[in-house]
Structure 1
Amino acid sequence: MTVLHLVQPVEGGVARVVTDLVRAQSAAGLRPVVGCPPGGQLAEAARAAGAEVHTWRAARSPGPGVAVEAGAAARLLRKVRPALLHAHSAKAGLAGRLAARGALPTVFQPHAWSFDAVGGTTGALALRWERFAVRWADRVLCVSEAERLAGETAGVHARWAVIRNGVDLGHFRPVDPDPVQDKALARAGLPLPTAFRGDGPLVVCVGRLCQQKGQDLLLRAWPELLATVPGARLALVGDGPDAERLRRTAPSGVLFAGAAADTRPWLRAADLVVLPSRWEGMALVPLEAMACGRPVLVSDVSGARESLPPGHGRLCLVPPEDPTALAKALGRLLVEPRLLAELGEQAGLHARTGFDVRRTTDAVTGLYHELLGRPRPLNQERISR
């Protein structure tokens, strides 16, 4: 079975999800093919995971080049001749569905809705497109029930599937079973400045430096937090279009660590991992942090409640776009090291029992078999609606 993954963007969580799918599908005897723009991390990672990779040039944002991008996607479909098209995120979903128009089984995976990401006329047009183009998707695959509900509430009348994100639990895990020792080991291996090697709690935010991930909200909350916890330190791990603007507006004492090929040491070094996103489908960073045994504080956007352990919502969720609420939540947690340790232990158990990427990839492959009318392998569990 040949599956064409048409993908834009080529970094961050989407790239990691596609790479995990490719790795599992290649191991299962499928022929995964990835069409994506050059640059970013995806092409190299997908090729290493077993995919055949073709260049598909597409900008990240919508614009006048959509017709050209859809034409290039159509040529790629004719070249690869896949049994099934899996289009990832808004731009690939736009160009891929225009190119295929129902000519072959098609899965569209939003990875967070485009109409949540933009407002005004652009947002209205994005919503009109999703309502129209749903006719060309045999399944709209959401990574959380909240993401599905957001689409349904917005009037996207799809044939839905819900398969939650997962992470590689062999990759994201503590190195030392003692959390104190594990944090010490991780910090010893990081290029932390002297000021960051003291006894104060370390907060880590991992993500692309962009509007979606909300680092600007965290920087606005940080001075208020320091009034409660003067010794707290903040590390922003990642790069992106907002990097320079964030550096100019950051309070003193914030570490901009840049992009990290391996985020595990940063996650393990943290007393608390925070992700103040404005929108998501189900973010991977909180799942990765929990798998490393670290507590998380996240904004209450799609997928956040579903990713947290039962009972953690009261302490570990904050309203999106609310720096004051974020500062207060940070303050409540950081002054209670024993509570943080308990939350981290519960988070680790929760991630390891509920978010194994193998379960996710098996379910996606099972969905392919269903759409193609083929029997699924008996070990595949489908999580769909």
Structure 2
Amino acid sequence: MIGGAGGHSGVPRHILQLVRALTGIADLTVASDKCAGVYKELDRTPARHVEVPGLESSVSPLRWLRAARHLRQLIGREQPALVWAHSRMAVFLLRSMALCGVLPGRPEIAVTFHGLPFGKGHRASALTIRAEKLFLSRLSGLHLLFLSKAAEHEYRGAVGEDLCLGHQISQRPNCSDIGEIKRREPDDTTRQLLMTGRAARQKNLPRALAIFAALPGTYRLTICGAGTETAGFRRKAKHILGPGPLSRVTFLGEVADIRPLLARADVYLLTSRYEGMPIAALEAFEAGLPLALSATGGTAEISARHPFCTELTAGEGVDDLQEDALRITALTEAFRAAPEQFRTEIRRAFQQEFSFAAWARDMRVQASRMCPPVPDPSLTPEGAANVPLPPIIPQPMPAGVIPSQVSLSGNMQNTARSPRA
């Protein structure tokens, strides 16, 4: 499985969930750019982690070539039955290598679109649609996985149904596996908003700050994500908020364990321009929190199934921001009227739709269908679905655990016992 940046974000969380789900039916290797902490959890699993420079998103062709060269070396050594790309750079590079005939061996190729590379919020939609059409027309038998029905529908509409013929297309929503969270006693005088997202255009954090500026003075906002702790981002926030509301915002940057923040939050806020299906919103859903979400294709299925969710307006004007603030206030105050009752109701809805156990069974079946046939009966779709799940990996990692990562310059052991992915 190929990821991108090694920090705390949705794609690494998804890959770690896949490792949990597929342990016992496949021999797993995970590739990513330099690990910034999240992949240390793999040390407690049988999976191997390999750092591949250049997998983080970049506009530099030289970095693309460097990453492709290292990927080719890795795939040649590992000889996997399935190569499964997840990050945007990995999805692009893997299919480009296959198109150019430089992909070693003949592995099955799977890509998961954690967010479509075109459409609303994207600046280069026309170019990426042309690239998708090229891949679909020149390659055959690709496994294309989408996180929502809306994403699959939009993709088919953009590239054309004819080009989708000959490829295996499926849709599986994301899940969350944070487990039970012990709620901290709330302060009756304040309301805690939580937002997770790196300081990037996609996450549209300036809109979140502008909405927060219109909320009552009893509301506080915590923002965590790569880049949100920097002086530059705080200066932007001060320009939007002014000194008063700014004093009620906590900038945490990247955090390894979101659960303590979920335990004391009253509502979760997401203002992204586009999303696949945000795992962070599902984690807040599992924790029993109300959600205030921007209306994107990737959040529509969450909104439809969450009993305490409001969609934000699509406008950018002052009236839109005030309307969003009113919606968040109404949602939060209604929730705080009977928090335990509503939290139980929210968690029940989560378990019915997005539980890890059901998702893991689906992904074991999916993986067994994508891999070439093997004689082991546990690796058939029916057998894979019945493999017991390993326990949830505790977070954060205990102090003193030493990562067992290897780099491409080191030695890699090939101790395959099941199809390699």
TM-score by length of 1: 0.83
Partner of 1:345: 344
- In structure 1, how many angstroms separate the alpha carbons of the residues matched to 2:45 and 2:323? 41
1:232 aligns with 2:227: no
- In structure 2, how many angstroms separate the alpha carbons of the residues matched to 1:215 and 1:209? 7
Partner of 1:317: 311
2:223 touches 2:253 (CA, 8 Å); kept in 1? Answer: yes
Partner of 1:359: 358
Secondary structure of the 1:234 match is: strand
From 187, 195, 198, the counterpart of 1:205: 195
- In structure 2, how many angstroms separate the alpha carbons of the residues matched to 1:310 and 1:15? 25
Distance 1:35 1:311, change over 3 A: closer
2:115 touches 2:275 (CA, 8 Å); kept in 1? Answer: yes
CA deviation after TM superposition for structure 1 residue 317, in Å: 1.4
2:224 touches 2:255 (CA, 8 Å); kept in 1? Answer: yes
Distance 1:243 1:302, change over 3 A: farther
Matches within 5 A, 1:250-329: 250=237, 251=241, 252=246, 253-308=248-303, 310=305, 312=307, 315-320=309-314, 322=316, 323-329=321-327
Distance 1:294 1:43, change over 3 A: closer
CA deviation after TM superposition for structure 1 residue 343, in Å: 4.6
Partner of 1:248: 235
1:183 aligns with 2:184: yes
Partner of 1:35: 31
1:97 touches 1:137 (CA, 8 Å); kept in 2? Answer: no
- In structure 2, how many angstroms separate the alpha carbons of the residues matched to 1:242 and 1:142? 32
Partner of 1:179: none
Distance 1:241 1:62, change over 3 A: farther
In structure 1, give the amino acid aligned to 2:312.
V
CA deviation after TM superposition for structure 1 residue 326, in Å: 2.5
- Identity between Structure 1 and Structure 2 (%): 21
- In structure 2, how many angstroms separate the alpha carbons of the residues matched to 1:201 and 1:325? 18
In structure 2, give the amino acid aligned to 1:319.
T
2:68 touches 2:97 (CA, 8 Å); kept in 1? Answer: yes
From 186, 209, 212, the counterpart of 1:219: 209
Distance 1:68 1:259, change over 3 A: closer
1:309 touches 1:346 (CA, 8 Å); kept in 2? Answer: no
- In structure 2, how many angstroms separate the alpha carbons of the residues matched to 1:231 and 1:97? 51
In structure 2, give the amino acid aligned to 1:238.
G
Q: Which consecutive residues of structure 1, in runs of 5 or more, have no partner in the other structure?
A: 176-181, 188-196
Partner of 2:175: 166
CA deviation after TM superposition for structure 1 residue 309, in Å: 5.2
Partner of 1:193: none
- In structure 2, how many angstroms separate the alpha carbons of the residues matched to 1:325 and 1:152? 34
- In structure 1, how many angstroms separate the alpha carbons of the residues matched to 2:189 and 2:228? 33
1:108 aligns with 2:111: yes
- In structure 1, how many angstroms separate the alpha carbons of the residues matched to 2:231 and 2:120? 21
From 61, 66, 70, the counterpart of 1:64: 61
In structure 1, give the amino acid aligned to 2:352.
T
Secondary structure of the 1:183 match is: coil
Larger radius of gyration: 2
CA deviation after TM superposition for structure 1 residue 338, in Å: 2.2
- In structure 1, how many angstroms separate the alpha carbons of the residues matched to 2:314 and 2:121? 15
1:16 aligns with 2:13: yes
CA deviation after TM superposition for structure 1 residue 44, in Å: 2.2
1:280 touches 1:303 (CA, 8 Å); kept in 2? Answer: yes
Partner of 2:419: none
In structure 1, give the amino acid aligned to 2:215.
L
Partner of 1:148: 152
Partner of 1:192: none
Partner of 1:191: none
- In structure 2, how many angstroms separate the alpha carbons of the residues matched to 1:329 and 1:242? 28
Equivalent residues, number: 352
- In structure 1, how many angstroms separate the alpha carbons of the residues matched to 2:169 and 2:314? 26
